[in-house]
Amino acid sequence: MLLHIPNILTREQVATMRAAIDAAQWVDGRTTAGNQGVLVKRNRQLPENSAVALEQGRIILQALAANGQFFSAALPARTMPPLFNRYAEAGNETYGTHVDGAARRVPGSDLWLRTDVSSTLFLCDPEDYDGGELVVEDTYGTHEVKLPAGDLILYPSTSLHRVEPVTRGERVCSFFWTQSMVRDTAKRSLLFEIDQAITSLRTKHGETAEALSLTGHYHNLLRMWAET
């Protein structure tokens, strides 16, 4: 499931965040790449232990916690502290086709997180740069993604994906991974569709017997499939 979630951050939050991270010290993005990713990755990142990255990441996590659509789609058990990257036209910075590693160590701890869901939060607008599309390949084809600042794209971490070379301007984003309570992508997608149907039923008709019955089925399936 590839899902666009708008307005995770407000325009004011994006502007404040950009001012903070733009003034920070950036490093070679290959420092966080795996064995395969390091061969095709050419960008810059804020260090994982950067005070600026940690503080701005907390703001993103707070915004995600308040977003019902993100919860419904990801069913998060835990989410990695967000990271920040940028791609510039100098050197046509890019990240070639790769798949995210299955597990990542949470910085500053001995805890490992299974990467079920990948997310990219855009911190610049499409007109700010040329190229730089996030390209995700899944069972339904190839999808190019370039969203307004403050919007997020969510997709299975099992997907092959890449970032096209930036040929003008700069592409600035945050990215992170979520371990879901439901690790299977198809089951997670089914639960999301049921939850959206329940919301639509309640919006149109209120709390009906049909909506209540569907809610019961949703929670019974979640109870059956969830891991904590």
d(CA 36, CA 60): 28
pTM score, whole prediction: 0.94
CATH of 185-225, one of 3.80.10, 3.40.50, 4.10.860, 1.10.510: 4.10.860
Instruction: Give CATH 2.60.120.620 domain extents, the chain.
Output: 3-180
| Closest C-alpha among 32, 21, 3 to residue 123 | 21
| Closest C-alpha among 146, 139, 154 to residue 122 | 146
Mean pLDDT by 10 residues, the chain (228 residues): 97 98 93 67 94 98 98 97 95 91 92 97 98 93 97 97 96 98 97 97 95 97 94
Instruction: Give CATH 4.10.860 domain extents, the chain.
Output: 185-225
CATH class of 3-180: mainly beta
What pLDDT score does 35 carry? Answer: 59
- Burial class of residue 90 in the structure, from the number of CB atoms within 10 Å of its CB (0-12 exposed, 13-18 middle, 19+ buried): exposed
